Structure 1
Amino acid sequence: MKNKGILYAISIISLWLVALVYLLNYKIDFYNPLVYVFVLVQTHLYTGIFITAHDAIHGVVAPDNKKLNYWIGFLCATIFAYNNYEKLSRKHHLHHAHVVTENDPDYYNGNFFRWYLKFALEYVTVWQILFMAITYNILKLFFPMENLIVFWEIPAILSTLQLFYFGTYLPHRGEHAPTDKYKARSQKLNHFVAFMSCYFFGYHHEHHAYPYLPWWKLADAKEREATLINEV
């Protein structure tokens, strides 16, 4: 399908928005296991929002329409806690160009927590925090504060952890083979786990090898890589 990237983007954004509106009006009972399921669902959709912004950075959401591709990426970055799309784009291209070096804005040679803190500080700005605070105070005029925290704020925070752990920390930590110019490892071949964990971005070596592939094509790339390794 020619416009599959646009269709996936619209689907993820729509599902996130519909779920958020529903959940902001949902009666919370912390003894109800559905509350925690909904938190995980909304976290996964938030991750999809960011992955869509990421694909727009690579120009693959709407490859035949640069202006539409930009605005989809801009919208998704903004939805994801008012991230600056231009800043994300600039730093992500630096990440690909200087992966696992001192010039890589996503890399830190340290433990998980210090690396995550450095990663967060690399992108979070005072303006983001200000806009989030303003939005929160406006929304709480219409929705319960508890719902905003549980279904809007917590999923966004969990999503950043999900993106960092599966899309940055696991692929790039530790030593890499001298022959691996991408300095990126991939998780084992399991499409269900790969999709649920980070929209196939656990297949991270494939993403660095083929950055022009949208997230849903990384599974095919992983299968091809696995076939080549088995043949050798």
Structure 2
Amino acid sequence: MLAGEFINRKSVLELFLKKYAGITIALTILVAWGSVLWFLLHWQVDFISPLTYLAVLVMMHLYTGLFITAHDAMHGVVAPGNKRLNTVIGTLTAGLFAYNYYPRLFPKHHQHHRHVATDKDPDYHGGNFFLWFFSFARQYITVGQILLMASTFHLLQLWFPLENIILFWMVPAVLATFQLFYFGTYLPHRGVHEPENKHKSGTQQRNHLWAFLSCYFFGYHYEHHDKPYLPWWQLYKEKDRREGAKETR
């Protein structure tokens, strides 16, 4: 009887986690970003200590997680059974990342998927890295964002030390922007025009630890374009499936 009850409870828990996994993971990233940032804004900065620079990298990774969560919301996979909640989470996570505006990002991202690596793709540019990044930034960075960031920067100085704000609030957001561009746009789409590549997208070699650290598995980019309904935390499974299929040929 006890064994049966345990199995039933385990099944219920598994079903709950499966149904609400996207929301749970999104909230985990949100809480981690907020709590770590709060801690670091109060932290005594020591420019000699390597922990200071490790903290910057941790915040960069969490900022990237915010944007990846907003990206998944654009595909409706954060809260697939609740469109309104999915939009709220996407809007919140995008906004916390340097005041990105979700309703502006949403149509541009789907335009990217419909017209990948063409003149109609807002994420694509045929030039070198710097020209491409400049074109990318023009598409997504607005004067309103800059003004809001400047206002928040001055407001935060009322409560927190200047070096903490710069190191742990500003710098990680800038670094995460480069990280997302490099691993999520530039590397996957540069020079990929082979007719047999229907998604005009490359993919990282299979290394799940590096794929997670570099961009939340978003370097598995062909897999994302092939199955955009998969959340970021399922892309490694699709990578395994595709690589396994190649090995059996």
TM-score under structure 2 length normalisation = 0.92
In structure 2, what residue type is equivalent to 1:18?
S
Give the 5 Å matches for 1:74-223.
Answer: 74-223=91-240
Q: Distance in 1 between matches of 2:136 and 2:152?
A: 24
Superposition RMSD on alpha carbons, in Å?
0.6
Contact 2:192 2:202 in 1 (8 A): no
TM-superposed CA distance for 1:181, in Å, is: 1.2
Q: Which residue of 1 aligns with 2:58?
A: 41
How many aligned positions are there?
A: 232
Give me the identity figure in percent.
Answer: 57
Q: Which amino acid aligns with 2:242?
A: E
What is the deviation of 1:175? 3.5
Give the deviation of 1:178 after TM superposition. 0.9
1:115-167 Cα offsets, whole Å, 9 max, x none, are 11110111111110111111111111100111100000000000000000000
Aligned counterparts of 1:121 and 1:145: Cα–Cα separation in 2: 28
- CA drift of 1:30 comes to 0.8
Counterpart residue number, 2:80: 63
Equivalent residue letter for 1:170:
L
Name the aligned partner's letter for residue 137 of structure 1: H
Structure 2 unaligned residues grouped into runs of 5+ = 1-17
Q: Work out the CA distance in 2 between the residues paired with 1:188 and 1:64.
A: 33
Equivalent position amino acid for 1:56 in 2: A
Task: Measure, in 2, the Cα distance between the counterparts of 1:175 and 1:203.
Answer: 14
Structure 1 unmatched ranges of 5 or more: none
TM-score with structure 1 setting the length: 0.99
Q: Quick one: which of 44, 69, 72 aligns to 1:27?
A: 44
Q: Provide runs of 4+ in structure 1 moved above 2 Å.
A: none
